[in-house]
């Protein structure tokens, strides 16, 4: 960690993560997965991306791997090329009392649960994968000191 020696006052740190992005190989398939499993509705859906409203305060964006390799030039600015290769991880907060309903839902949909564990603070994590192999986690309160 570096020491800030500038004379400009430091801004307040960001208070939340607004967007989480996953690169996917088949946008149609991935959109259907997140709509069916989580019940998310797309705020924006186009050839390049699908953006879901997550709890009214966060956005989950699925990007077509092919489409994010190049910058996008819009009338109001440019979005630089970006994206990730390989498997990523996203954790979703859920109520402890809903975890068994989630287990049943995943099993009903034929989605393998890779692991379930209880953390020292008492929270539980349940892990499974989306169609691109991204590791998804359902977390109940007690996983982190702040949750």
pLDDT of residue 124: 98
pLDDT of residue 2: 58
Taking alpha carbons only, the member of 72, 12, 60 closest to residue 35 is: 60
pLDDT of residue 84: 78
Q: What is the mean pLDDT of each run of 10 residues along the chain (147 residues)?
A: 74 91 96 97 93 96 87 89 86 97 97 98 98 97 96
pLDDT of residue 70: 82
Sorted by where each starts, the structural domains of the chain and their CATH numbers stand as 17-69 (3.30.720.120), 86-147 (3.10.180.10)
Tokens in use for 18?
């607004």
3-state helix, strand, coil in the chain (%, to 5): 20, 35, 45
**Tokens 């699908």 -> residue:** 50
Give the integer Cα–Cα distance in Å for 133 and 129. 5
Specify the 3-state DSSP secondary structure of 98.
Answer: helix
pLDDT of residue 7: 85
Give the integer Cα–Cα distance in Å for 32 and 50. 10
pLDDT of residue 4: 61
> Cβ–Cβ contacts within 10 Å for residue 10, how many?
7
């Amino acid at each position: 960690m570096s020491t800030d020696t500038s004379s400009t006052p430091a801004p307040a740190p960001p208070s939340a993560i607004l967007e989480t992005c996953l690169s996917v190989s088949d946008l149609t398939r991935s959109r259907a997965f997140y709509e069916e499993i989580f019940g998310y509705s797309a705020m924006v859906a186009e050839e390049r991306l699908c953006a879901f409203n997550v709890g009214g305060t966060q956005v989950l964006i699925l990007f077509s791997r092919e489409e994010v390799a190049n910058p996008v030039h819009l009338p109001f600015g440019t979005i630089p090329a970006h994206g990730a290769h390989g498997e990523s991880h996203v954790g979703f907060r859920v109520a402890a009392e809903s975890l068994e309903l989630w287990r049943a839902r995943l099993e009903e949909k034929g989605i393998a649960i890779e692991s379930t564990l209880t953390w020292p603070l008492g929270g539980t994590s349940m892990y499974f994968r989306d169609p691109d192999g991204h590791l998804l986690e359902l977390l109940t309160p007690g996983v982190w000191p702040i949750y």
